[in-house]
Structure 1
């Protein structure tokens, strides 16, 4: 069982994640979206969405630092184990609570707003169950680390070496088997979340619209064609091949800019 859980299942998870994402992109590009419901309700969305997204971003960064950066590196930088754990627990607790509160608001909104609830599929419900379970399990490991008995062997000695060993295709099953039960449960739920990821609305995270910040303006003109009195026309970022705007000004057409 340990061989399957910690030596085989992680690679099955990666295969499903990568293969499922490729399949979804090729055969369901129109479904590759969050199916935004902002038009139905925006007040709770403005609160819950930033809490969840910024919280989960910090959680991801924290997991990366804890699992990828070896203990020897932080020791070489002069960061003591006490300092490391204090920072990790403090930041992890705040980020975890923010993420849990944010997703709680989003679930409440989805359940109590009629049109949003009607647009909720069984796929969404399954995703929310697994996502909340992963967040709660992560917070539980943090709380146990704070109020529970101090252990000589921590996740940096068990989960982290096992995680890094997966990338060289030599899974350290013994290290993961020595991890505490709360970390093992959290890891299994996390793998389940990534296995369903390509088939849910969470897939939109792979196509965050970062390129939007670097796209040029779209040129538009007013319908009446009257010039703008008392205000000069600012030159913007014009794509190659577009006509000079001075000809528009001479022709008496109003020119403006907006994002695509």
Structure 2
């Protein structure tokens, strides 16, 4: 920490730094929130991954888990590195060496897995005719942004290992990131970060800015309502059992009380009784 503190204090904070690290994050947050609300209100039918599993599933069975589990691990690593201060991990006995070893090893595996998954997904879309025909320009642009964000993230890992003069991101990027959420952006801390970290941060903000307007928006939803939706009645058992079902207090769809249906249920019941007498 002492090695980085003078670098942060002596950082040259100009107008460009203020715009990039003090203003731009809030513009991106406004676009993400506003864009997500707009998409939910006016394009709920488009709020989907537009799955292409029916066209091809062999490669998808490998590529999709690689990408999704990898991106979840990458997200967990970012949350730990950006939200948890170094003093907290030190307080529980995790040294800087231990932390960086875990971050480097686990982060590299997760990043490579995610990169391999998205490369397979792109190759599948390019080589499978029906999937390629279903790919829009929006999808292509999204894949480019995702690939660039992953590559710049992996580049920061490699550069920070090879170049020991690069300031520790836990003393530059992390304080800046946490300061955004309390509306006191630490522009000097981010200005002192290495060029690779700045490029990765800018690309990440660009990716989040387009997020609500691409298929990536499905990441903001979860099928929680499936746990609480009522039962779907495919076939009625007749008026007797139906009335008993509703009187018992079980949730379900209300029956459609048409006269034809009532007569039809009575006829079926009568026929069944007659068949029993024979």
Interval of TM-score (by shorter of Structure 1 and Structure 2):
0.7 to 0.9
Map of 1:255 onto structure 2: none
Question: What's the CA shift string for 1:86-109, capped at 9, x where partnerless?
Answer: 000111000000000000010001
Residue among 158, 163, 169 paired with 1:149:
163
Conserved? CA contact 1:131–1:193, under 8 Å:
yes
Question: What's the CA shift string for 1:124-179, capped at 9, x where partnerless?
Answer: 11111011000011111112223x12237300000000001101111100000000
**1:202 matches 2:190:** no
* Helix, strand or coil at the partner of 1:10: helix
Between stretches 206-215 and 26-35, larger displacement belongs to 206-215
TM-score by length of 1: 0.83
Aligned CA RMSD, in angstroms, stands at 2.2
The answer to which structure, 1 or 2, has the higher relative contact order (CA under 8 A, 6+ apart) is 2
Between stretches 17-26 and 207-216, larger displacement belongs to 207-216
Question: What's the CA shift string for 1:52-88, capped at 9, x where partnerless?
Answer: 0000001001000000000110111111000000000
TM-score by length of 2: 0.77
Map of 1:59 onto structure 2: 74
Question: Which of the two has greater helix per residue?
Answer: 2
**1:182 matches 2:182:** no
Indicate how the Cα distance of structure 1 residues 240 and 186 shifts in structure 2: closer, same or farther if over 3 A, else same: same
Map of 2:187 onto structure 1: 173
After TM superposition, give the deviation of residue 220 of structure 1 in Å: 5.0
Gaps of 5+ in 2: 1-15, 237-248, 254-268, 273-278
Residue among 33, 43, 52 paired with 1:37:
52
Gaps of 5+ in 1: 223-237, 243-250, 253-260
Q: Distance in 1 between matches of 2:149 and 2:252?
A: 51
Conserved? CA contact 1:33–1:204, under 8 Å:
yes
Q: Size of the alignment, in residue pairs? A: 230
**1:71 matches 2:119:** no
